[in-house]
Amino acid sequence: MSDYMLSKEYFIKVIEDLIALVEERGAYYTELDSAIGDGDHGINLEIGFREVNKHLDEWKGLNVRDFYNNVGKALLDKVGGSSGPLYGSFFMKFGLPIKAKGPEEGATFAEFIDMMDKGVAIIQKRGKSTTGEKTMLDTFIPALETMKAEYAAGTPAKEAMEKAVDAGKAGLESTRNIVATKGRAMRLGERAIGHLDPGAASAAEFLEVFYKDMP
Ligand code: ADP
Ligand code: MG
């Protein structure tokens, strides 16, 4: 497993597929946000990923770190709302652990976990949030913990990621039964019960793209 590699092409494909996912699922994310927020989560992501799409060809020659830094910056600069800065920071930090590499290099699965770790940590830091608050972290944190635990147990990378995606989906499902203590849904109090968190939903589907594109 130590020679399991995620290529630069993988990291580019993930962004191409996220652009397509947001076009396909944006309306659903917006519908979820209409129930407990202000009905713009999908719209926000569409604005951000359309901006990324405009620059994709020009960025493909960059190394993975700079490529993801640009993706994150585009989301941060173009998207209003909380998800733009949070996802923007996630992608900006995501590339950092592979900074020492050349323009065509990818990452090992251990490095990939480190990348996810850095991305999730900045969401926690910027959002001043953690699990149980009805946010995207209810997806990201259990997924990350599962990734780490499975890797430590010697589970092959793709299988470890599959389990991480399942843990993220269970986390998403858990947002249905909690009151929000972060984000706009906070204002609803108990009325948010019964509804999935939109950011947790997009995060679960984003992770699924990272999984499906893995070799
Ligand atoms: P806004 O809430 O500004 O309209 P979006 O609708 O695009 O932005 O995104 C809402 C999502 O952002 C929420 O569903 C939640 O998952 C996430 N979110 C909001 N605030 C926080 C926070 N402090 N920490 C983590 N995630 C958050
Ligand atoms: Mg919103």
More confident residue, 103 or 47: 47
Q: How far away, in angstroms, is 141 Cα from ligand 2 center?
A: 21
* Residues in the 5 Å CB sphere of ion ligand 2: 33, 37-38, 40-41
CATH number at residue 55: 1.25.40.340
Ligand 1 atom with the shortest distance to the CA of 138: 16
Q: Which residue's alpha carbon is at the smallest distance from atom 23 of ligand 1? A: 127
Q: Given this model, what pLDDT does residue 100 score?
A: 66
Query: Which domain, by its residues, includes 12?
Result: 5-212
Q: How far away, in angstroms, is 90 Cα from ligand 1 center?
A: 13
Q: How far away, in angstroms, is 145 Cα from ligand 2 center?
A: 27
User: Can you tell me the mean pLDDT for 52-75?
Assistant: 97
Q: How many domains does the chain have?
A: 1
Q: Is the CB of 88 under 6 A from ligand 1?
A: no
Give a three-class secondary structure readout of the chain: CCCCEECHHHHHHHHHHHHHHHHHHHHHHHHHHHHHCCCCHHHHHHHHHHHHHHHHHHHCCCCHHHHHHHHHHHHHHHCCCCHHHHHHHHHHHHCHHHCCCCCCCCEEHHHHHHHHHHHHHHHHHHHCCCCCCCCCHHHHHHHHHHHHHHHHCCCCHHHHHHHHHHHHHHHHHHHHHCCCCCCHHHHHHHHHCCCCCHHHHHHHHHHHHHHHCCC
* Residue 1 reports pLDDT greater than 60: no
Q: How far away, in angstroms, is 134 Cα from ligand 2 center?
A: 13
123-142 per-position pLDDT tens digit: 999 999 999 999 999 999 99
Q: Is the CB of 82 under 6 A from ligand 1?
A: yes
Q: Given this model, what pLDDT does residue 131 score?
A: 97
Per-residue pLDDT band at 157 (split at 50, 70, 90): very high
Per-residue pLDDT band at 24 (split at 50, 70, 90): very high
Q: Is the CB of 6 under 6 A from ligand 1?
A: no
Q: How far away, in angstroms, is 215 Cα from ligand 1 center?
A: 31
* Residue 7 reports pLDDT greater than 90: yes
